């Protein structure tokens, strides 16, 4: 019989990887980003720990850590079973209280909620001795429904409708489980080849390496001019071949009409979608862009900056997107992610999680696996980036064109002691170095027009 640990305390840490120095994550909006984690460890009266974190882009990560510190005491003294036995209610209660007034289910407090709920799910999966994806995939339809708070989405999806959907998928679930256990469930696409700050030579070398590793889908950063974009995309076609699937991402830099004017000029390159063409909050703008680009064969994707299930519901209702790019570290934990996966399945839109930052492939790998096995029943793809996997005790693995299904119990959240020694802020060895101090003390880090610290 599984143990039922009591949470006895917590530790919060500020971890920042100096990814900008290698142009990792560079795009039209974010020229210099330090992939950063607000990291929490829940200690228990057993040997098990619940580990979770959420993500920021460097400066301001201390604000995320403060948000986590504000909310973390709520679960101290509680047995795990008291939280998971009615997890939907726990989720609703946790997003309530006085802190909700500041930013209801959005912003920094939503990120903080995400980190804490990730830690609870990590602990639950460890108690059950399963990787998180399999914990969820092994749920009965009734158990899966029981962890979701359907408030605000019942106008589109009720618990009864969701239950019927899951029961229908249950009939063929074992076939998909077998594919997952053979590491054939989740194909990947490569983003590391397309960072904006890379030279053409670096892009070409990265493409050749990615093709050899089995990638057939590639995403490039774009939006800095037709000549530049066509040159880069043409390079992908040359190296990867005409059968390669290409996507582009402009990270919110355009107004709606700019996107509608620009993208048809790339239509001959046979692109699957344009990602984040405009403000992530502009649902009707995305709908206009999608309608305008559909005759050109170009889809629209967004989601990495979508804060909650309500916005995803409206994006789907407005027929604004061709791919749901939910972020494992922006929604309020697996509870809300499951509701978004169900909404996407109802509308027949694939879930293509955003996982371009440090540690995101580790977590999103779980999401893509349980979505395929238990919810959508349809194979999609998952973003792969090749940086910083060495700092995780259970890193994402990829071969033969597919992600490997995680095998270690938990949510793959644990980061190595070596990473903290180097990159915990401000005491890590890198941040104490001369270059680290230059980055930390530049208040405009990441704003190209004002930044004074070195790019590399």
Q: What is the pLDDT of residue 1?
A: 56
Q: What is the pLDDT of residue 449?
A: 87
- Single out the catalytic residue among 37, 354, 366, 402: 354
What average pLDDT does range 266-278 have in this prediction?
96
pLDDT, tens only, 191-211: 988 888 888 899 889 999 999
- Do 311 and 338 reside in the same domain of the chain? yes
Q: Which residues pair with 274 in a beta bridge?
A: 248, 300
- Do 20 and 123 reside in the same domain of the chain? yes
Whether residue 268 is contained in a domain is answered as yes
Q: What is the pLDDT of residue 194?
A: 84
Tally of CA atoms within 13 A in the half-sphere of 184 that contains its CB: 6
Q: What is the pLDDT of residue 435?
A: 94
What average pLDDT does range 438-445 have in this prediction?
93
User: Which of these, 382, 381, 404, lies nearest to 394 by C-alpha position?
Assistant: 404
Q: What is the dihedral of CA 236, 237, 239, 244, to 10 degrees?
A: 90
- Single out the catalytic residue among 221, 286, 366, 422: 221
- Do 252 and 273 reside in the same domain of the chain? yes
Q: Is 387 a catalytic residue?
A: no
413 neighbors 384 (Cβ within 8 angstroms):
no
Q: Is 91 a catalytic residue?
A: no
Whether residue 140 is contained in a domain is answered as no
Whether residue 255 is contained in a domain is answered as yes
- Do 271 and 333 reside in the same domain of the chain? yes
pLDDT, tens only, 350-386: 999 999 999 999 999 999 999 999 999 999 999 999 9
- Do 125 and 224 reside in the same domain of the chain? no
What average pLDDT does range 279-308 have in this prediction?
97
Asked whether the predicted pLDDT for residue 336 surpasses 90, the reply is: yes
pLDDT, tens only, 63-113: 999 999 999 999 999 999 999 999 999 999 999 999 999 989 999 999 999
- Do 397 and 427 reside in the same domain of the chain? no
- Do 81 and 53 reside in the same domain of the chain? yes
- Do 19 and 165 reside in the same domain of the chain? no
Exposed / middle / buried, residue 155 (Cβ in 10 Å: 0-12, 13-18, 19+):
exposed
List the CATH number of the domain containing 57.
3.30.390.10
pLDDT, tens only, 385-418: 999 999 999 999 999 999 999 999 999 999 999 9
pTM: 0.97
Whether residue 15 is contained in a domain is answered as yes
User: Which of these, 257, 263, 204, 258, lies nearest to 231 by C-alpha position?
Assistant: 204
What average pLDDT does range 425-441 have in this prediction?
96
Whether residue 141 is contained in a domain is answered as no
Number of domains in the chain: 2
Rg of the Cα atoms in the chain: 21
What average pLDDT does range 184-189 have in this prediction?
96
What average pLDDT does range 314-331 have in this prediction?
98
Q: What is the pLDDT of residue 448?
A: 84
Structure tokens at 223: 């939006």
Whether residue 408 is contained in a domain is answered as no
pLDDT, tens only, 103-136: 899 999 999 999 999 999 999 999 999 999 999 9
Asked whether the predicted pLDDT for residue 317 surpasses 60, the reply is: yes
Q: What is the pLDDT of residue 316?
A: 98
Say how far apart CA 360 and CA 454 lie, in whole Å: 26
Q: What is the pLDDT of residue 86?
A: 98
Q: What is the pLDDT of residue 39?
A: 98
- Do 103 and 246 reside in the same domain of the chain? no
242 Cβ contact list (under 8 Å, min separation 6): none
301 neighbors 323 (Cβ within 8 angstroms):
yes
Whether residue 452 is contained in a domain is answered as no
Say how far apart CA 156 and CA 427 lie, in whole Å: 48
Pair type for strands 186-190 and 382-384: parallel
Whether residue 446 is contained in a domain is answered as no
pLDDT, tens only, 210-247: 999 899 999 999 988 999 999 989 988 889 998 999 99
Q: Which residues constitute the domain of residue 340?
A: 159-403
Structure tokens at 240: 């990867």
- Do 437 and 292 reside in the same domain of the chain? no
Of the chain, the percentage scoring pLDDT greater than 90 comes to: 87
- Do 104 and 166 reside in the same domain of the chain? no
Q: What is the pLDDT of residue 455?
A: 78
175 Cβ contact list (under 8 Å, min separation 6): none
pLDDT, greater one: 254 or 238: 254
What average pLDDT does range 59-63 have in this prediction?
96
Q: What is the dihedral of CA 156, 162, 165, 167, to 10 degrees?
A: -170
- Do 220 and 337 reside in the same domain of the chain? yes
pLDDT level of residue 141 (50, 70, 90 thresholds): very high
Helix axes 200-212, 226-240, angle to 10 degrees: 30
Q: What does the buried/exposed string (b/e) look like for 273-286 if buried means 16 or more CB atoms within 10 Å of the residue's CB?
A: bbbbbbbbebbebb
């Amino acid at each position: 019989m599984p143990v039922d640990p009591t949470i006895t305390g917590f530790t919060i840490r500020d971890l920042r990887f100096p990814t900008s120095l290698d142009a990792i994550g560079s795009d039209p909006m974010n020229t210099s980003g330090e992939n950063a984690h607000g990291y929490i460890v829940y200690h228990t009266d057993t040997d098990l720990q619940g580990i979770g974190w959420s993500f920021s882009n460097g400066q301001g990560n201390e604000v995320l850590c403060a948000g986590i510190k504000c909310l973390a005491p709520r679960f101290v003294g509680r047995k795990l079973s008291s939280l998971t036995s009615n997890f939907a209610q726990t989720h609703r209660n946790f997003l309530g209280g006085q802190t909700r007034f500041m930013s209801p289910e959005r912003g920094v407090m939503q990120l903080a909620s995400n980190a804490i709920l990730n830690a609870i799910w990590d602990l639950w999966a460890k108690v059950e001795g399963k990787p998180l994806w399999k914990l969820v995939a092994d749920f009965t339809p009734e158990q899966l429904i029981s962890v979701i708070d359907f408030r605000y989405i019942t106008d589109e999806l009720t618990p009864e409708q969701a239950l019927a959907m899951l029961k229908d998928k249950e009939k063929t679930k074992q076939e998909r489980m077998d594919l997952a256990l053979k590491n054939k469930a989740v194909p990947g696409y490569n983003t590391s080849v397309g960072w904006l700050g890379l030279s053409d030579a670096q892009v070409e070398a990265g493409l050749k390496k990615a093709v050899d590793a089995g990638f057939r889908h590639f995403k490039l950063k774009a939006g800095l001019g037709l000549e530049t974009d066509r040159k880069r995309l043409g390079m992908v076609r040359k190296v990867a071949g005409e059968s390669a699937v290409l996507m582009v991402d402009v990270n919110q830099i355009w107004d709606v009409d700019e996107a509608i004017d620009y993208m048809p000029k790339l239509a001959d390159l046979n692109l699957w979608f344009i990602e984040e063409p405009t403000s992530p909050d502009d649902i009707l703008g995305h709908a206009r862009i999608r309608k305008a680009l559909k005759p050109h064969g170009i889809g629209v994707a967004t989601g990495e900056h979508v804060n909650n299930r309500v916005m995803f519901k409206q994006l789907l209702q407005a027929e604004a997107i061709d791919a749901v790019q939910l972020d494992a570290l922006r929604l309020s934990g697996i509870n809300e992610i499951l509701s978004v996966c169900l909404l996407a399945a109802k509308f027949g839109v694939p879930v293509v999680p955003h996982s371009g930052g440090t540690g995101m492939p580790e977590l999103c790998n779980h999401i893509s696996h349980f979505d395929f096995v238990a919810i959508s029943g349809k194979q999609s793809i998952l973003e792969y980036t090749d940086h910083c996997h060495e700092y995780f005790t259970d890193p994402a693995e990829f071969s033969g064109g597919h992600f490997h299904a995680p095998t270690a119990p938990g949510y793959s959240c644990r980061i190595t002691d070596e990473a903290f020694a180097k990159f915990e802020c401000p005491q890590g060895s890198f941040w104490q170095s001369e270059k680290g101090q230059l980055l930390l003390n530049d208040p405009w880090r990441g704003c190209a027009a004002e930044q004074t610290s070195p790019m590399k």
